A = this chain, B = another copy of it.
Amino acid sequence: MTHPTDAGLRARKRAATQSTIERAALSLALEHGYDGVTVDAICEASMVSQRTFFNYFGSKEGVILGPPPPMPTDAAVEAFVHAAGHDVLGDLVSLLAAAIADGEPDRDLFRSRRVLIQRTPELMNREVARMTELQTGLVAIVLARLRASGRADSSGLTEEARMIVVLAGSVMRYCLEQYFSGTTTGNPREVLENALALVRRITNGS
């Protein structure tokens, strides 16, 4: 068995290595373009072996795009599906916010990623595919919630679920922009909680 302190130390070392590789990869790609960068060059710049690189990121695309957004736990999804109450949009924003609120994403890395994705059609396609997949998953969850609340399937329920996911997605994107544009001094949790309060006001029609 591993001593807790050892485990903590190992996790911190792991995070530091990961961050070093990401920074090296993004800086090289910004300089030479995505296609002009090799895994070899990234490994050399970050002083890790190819084995370590693939262990952490799987591919060149993986290190440039970064990990997908953190998802709610199964228990949180379960609670969302079976919650009472009519503010499904507010509850969905709350579910997504809870999953990501504890992260402290790095603004510089995020901005570099955005620039590269916008410049590189291959990365843009991959990112769009990733977001579409994520949305599909969320539509299924919202549909389960609508059904659990006794709504009949005949009344355009899938369309309604899709619209709820579209709206929640735009709230999350708006929070991202606020956070990363530096127009707010709040940490991610504050930005998300503020947005959720606004959504609840809007859906409750107060």
Asked if A170 meets B160 with Cβ closer than 8 Å, knowing A86-B205, A86-B206, A203-B202, the reply is no
Nearest-neighbour CB distance to chain B for A160, whole angstroms, equals: 5
Cβ-defined contact, A174 with B164, below 8 A? no
Q: Tell me if A198 counts as interface (CB < 8 A to partner B).
A: yes
Asked if A205 meets B202 with Cβ closer than 8 Å, knowing A167-B170, A170-B170, A171-B163, the reply is no
Cβ-defined contact, A159 with B198, below 8 A? yes
Q: How far is the CA of A163 from the CA of B175 in the complex (A)?
A: 10
Cβ-defined contact, A166 with B156, below 8 A? no
Within 8 A of B (CB), among A153-184: 156, 159-160, 163-164, 166-167, 169-171, 174
Q: How far is the CA of A202 from the CA of B87 in the complex (A)?
A: 8
Copies in the complex: 2
Residues of B within 8 A of A170 (CB): 166-167, 169-170
Residues of B within 8 A of A201 (CB): 160
Residue of B nearest to A86 (CB): B205
Cβ-defined contact, B86 with A199, below 8 A? no
Residue of B nearest to A159 (CB): B198
Q: List 7 A-B contacts (CB under 8 A).
A: A118-B124, A159-B194, A160-B198, A160-B201, A163-B199, A166-B171, A202-B203
A residues touching B (Cβ–Cβ < 8 Å)?
86-89, 118, 124, 156, 159-160, 163-164, 166-167, 169-171, 174, 194-195, 198-199, 201-206
